[in-house]
Amino acid sequence: MARLISEIYGNAMYELAVEEPSRMDDFEAEANALKDILKANPDFITVMTHPEISGEEKSALIDSTFSGSVSDEILELMHILSDKHHFGKIMDVLNDFTARVRDFKREGNAIVTSAVELNDGQKQKIEKRLIETTDYDTIDIDYRIDPALLGGLIIRIGDRVVDSSVRTVISDLRRDLLLLQLR
């Protein structure tokens, strides 16, 4: 259900942004800023989802906190989520919306995990290869280190994962050897 809510409202915001392409970057920037604000102030979501606080009080809180600071469209989204008792899913909605905008703009995100720190040359090769093998024009890469991989890489783009880590290769070999012993 949570995914459905994020898709419905995230897509509605995306459709609005597509109708007004000159404002798409502004909507995306507002959504990212709102995510940062809500991450820094998790109590706001707690208050907005508290069952003993009336809808009128929640509406007034949204207006007093965000009116004049965000666009009318983002403000209306917050009111709708509050009225429908889905405010607890606002981060999912905003994430869905920004992911759709990034896809539209052909901008990708990837997480690359390696066993050791990669040098600049290796990072440039990885970025070039990812752009060549995806539909993205640009890609932001978050590099992470996990010594347990032993070697190789794990690359995650959205829900796609390419795992060429030594740890996985060894695990696959072990599984295959165990299957051979059982026959």
**In this predicted model, what pLDDT tens digit does every residue of 124-159 receive, in sequence order?**
999 999 999 998 999 999 999 999 988 889 999 988
> Could you confirm whether domain 2-103 is CATH 1.10.520.20?
yes
> How would DSSP label each residue in 59-79?
HHHHHHHHBTTB-HHHHHHHH
Strands (E), 32-106: none
Q: Where are the domains of the chain?
A: 2-103, 107-182
Contact between residue 127 and residue 37 where contact means Cβ atoms under 8 Å apart? no
**pTM for the full predicted model:** 0.75
Region of residue 85 (phi > 0: left; psi between -120 and 50: alpha; otherwise: beta): left
Assign 175 a pLDDT band (cuts: 50, 70, 90).
confident
**In this predicted model, what pLDDT tens digit does every residue of 22-37 receive, in sequence order?**
999 999 999 999 999 9
